[in-house]
Structure 1
Amino acid sequence: MTSIKPRKAVQIAEHLEQLLAKGHWALGARLPAERQLAAQLAVSRPSLREALQQLISKGMLESRVGGGTYVLSTKPIGFVDPLLTLFRENPEYRFDVLEIRHALEGNAAWYAALRSTDEDKASIQACYENMMQLHGSLDPMNEARADATFHLAIVEASHNLVLLHVMRSLFDLLQNSISHNLDKLYTQARVFEPLSQQHRELMDAILASDPERARQAAEAHLVFVEDSLKMIDADEARKQRSLRHLSR
């Protein structure tokens, strides 16, 4: 019995999904123009267009009229949707994600310091420099996305595929559920300066192949991020109370 080959658009969609899962395009990034992407993949534009629609229907891509196609998620949104809904209804659960990051990223940094290749280290350094260059941009979420890309480059350098997929899921959740707080991390000098120093220390520890120093740097960084987000939450709560008081 002759096996039936998947339709070309399905094959293209699967390939694009693999590229997204591997971080070929960062969250929020714009995909190349349709003509350019079709040429890169050596496929027809109609087949590519159909494949893109499949990923749009999965919640992985977003098409903006006159503005191209953008990355919304590195996996089908159904994978994280139940938790995303929970977080929007119960904001305090966001900190559960940060607690999990403590356990996972400390280990990821440890293994990255042990296993990272010269190529991995160059990627981590490039991600760090990009993050620094984006500071002060008109959209602070660009810097937040660059921050996630930096941390995911470290996870990739751990060469643990399961850990990488788990961390991608967590970053998708964080960026979808607390974007209104993430952007504020990069607009306050009292927060940005320590963040910058912590990222530098984390990178330097991995470049120096010092696993214990890398683990400690990752864990110290996450404690600071959690404390800073709680501080922002508290500031927002005070502002809301003041507004309610003035409206009476």
Structure 2
Amino acid sequence: MGLHTLSSSAVDRTVLQLEEKLLEGGWETAARLPAERALAQSLGVSRSTVREAIQRLVTRGMLETKPGSGVYVVQRQPARLSAPWLQLVAENPPLRAETLEFRLVFECAAARFAAQRSTAEELDRLQAILVKMRNAVEAHDVDAEAIVDGEFHTALTAASHNRMLDQFYASVITMLREHIAANTFDATLNNANAFRQSAMRLNQHESIFFAVRDRDPDAAQRAMYAHIAFVGKQFEPGFGLAQ
């Protein structure tokens, strides 16, 4: 039983490492991955562990195997070909309020599952992202804050370990990142309270992390709900934005 647990843990860690490299653009779309032996050496695991990790990512639709050729990063099809509803969204961009409503449903669920299923490595990654977010806020660096804000939500969804959520998020990641970045910039523009609101958003992300770290699904869901509700309130008349 101990050996099985160790093996499963090694595979989980390897999946996470490969997934992070894919999400961060370590390999270009349609690129061929290094040979199994090379990957095993670079990650410090056995070839069988790498093989199992790759198979999991193939199942998730992030990688594909080509017999006699190797393993490749999946080339995501345009929305028109892969999902008609995505093309509809692209042609009729949702309002900010509609996207926030979508995020209330989607990301509250992701936070809840992350509190139940996240690994130690994923918690470390979330914490590292929060350090970058705090640095950006303290430096009044809106560009950096917007980027790491998107990174946090991406990492949290990956930590939910739900393939449907993971794949769905991957299909709308560009739109959601643009939405998050736009919120950050718009809430800062001509706003005397911009720094205070940035600090509040940072505290909200930290509250989400603490609930996930403490394995409290209810608290994680409430913290995410409070954060997204706050994002929407920033744009209500009288909240602090210049009119």
Alpha-carbon RMSD: 3.6
Closer, same or farther: CA 186–21 of 1 in aligned 2, 3 Å: farther
How far apart are 1:41 and its partner, in Å?
Answer: 4.8
Unaligned 5+ segments in structure 1 are 1-17, 26-30, 43-73, 239-248
1:151 to 2:153 alignment: yes
TM-score by length of 2: 0.59
Are the counterparts in 2 of residues 131 and 143 from structure 1 also a CA contact under 8 Å?
yes
* Equivalence map 1:195-206=2 (5 Å): 195-206=201-212
Are the counterparts in 1 of residues 137 and 195 from structure 2 also a CA contact under 8 Å?
no
Are the counterparts in 2 of residues 84 and 176 from structure 1 also a CA contact under 8 Å?
no
Instruction: Name the residue aligned to 1:189.
Output: 195
1:24 to 2:24 alignment: yes
Instruction: Tell me the distance in 1 between the aligned counterparts of 2:115 and 2:139.
Output: 31
Instruction: Tell me the distance in 2 between the aligned counterparts of 1:112 and 1:226.
Output: 23
Instruction: Tell me the distance in 2 between the aligned counterparts of 1:173 and 1:232.
Output: 28
Are the counterparts in 2 of residues 21 and 165 from structure 1 also a CA contact under 8 Å?
no
Instruction: Name the residue aligned to 1:7.
Output: none
How far apart are 1:231 and its partner, in Å?
Answer: 5.1
Deviation per residue, 1:83-106 (Å, 9 max, x gap): 23422xxxx622211101101111
Deviation per residue, 1:52-108 (Å, 9 max, x gap): xxxxxxxxxxxxxxxxxxxxxx95553655423422xxxx62221110110111111
Unaligned 5+ segments in structure 2 are 1-17, 36-74, 81-85
Are the counterparts in 1 of residues 150 and 181 from structure 2 also a CA contact under 8 Å?
no
Instruction: Tell me the distance in 2 between the aligned counterparts of 1:20 and 1:196.
Output: 23
Query: Counterpart of 1:228 in structure 2: which amino acid?
Result: Q
Are the counterparts in 1 of residues 108 and 224 from structure 2 also a CA contact under 8 Å?
yes
Are the counterparts in 2 of residues 128 and 199 from structure 1 also a CA contact under 8 Å?
yes
TM-score by length of 1: 0.58
How far apart are 1:182 and its partner, in Å?
Answer: 2.6
Are the counterparts in 2 of residues 109 and 215 from structure 1 also a CA contact under 8 Å?
yes
Q: 2:109 aligns with which of 107, 110, 115?
A: 107
Closer, same or farther: CA 164–209 of 1 in aligned 2, 3 Å: same
Closer, same or farther: CA 198–179 of 1 in aligned 2, 3 Å: closer
Q: 2:217 aligns with which of 208, 211, 214?
A: 211
Q: Which SS does the other structure have where 2:215 is aligned?
A: coil
How far apart are 1:209 and its partner, in Å?
Answer: 0.8
* Equivalence map 1:33-48=2 (5 Å): 41=34
Instruction: Tell me the distance in 1 between the aligned counterparts of 2:174 and 2:217.
Output: 26
Deviation per residue, 1:3-46 (Å, 9 max, x gap): xxxxxxxxxxxxxxx96995133xxxxx79x9xxx9x958xxxx
Q: Which SS does the other structure have where 1:150 is aligned?
A: helix
Instruction: Name the residue aligned to 2:41.
Output: none
Q: Which SS does the other structure have where 1:131 is aligned?
A: helix
Closer, same or farther: CA 98–205 of 1 in aligned 2, 3 Å: same
Instruction: Tell me the distance in 2 between the aligned counterparts of 1:100 and 1:94.
Output: 10
Are the counterparts in 1 of residues 187 and 234 from structure 2 also a CA contact under 8 Å?
yes
Closer, same or farther: CA 120–175 of 1 in aligned 2, 3 Å: closer
Instruction: Name the residue aligned to 1:62.
Output: none
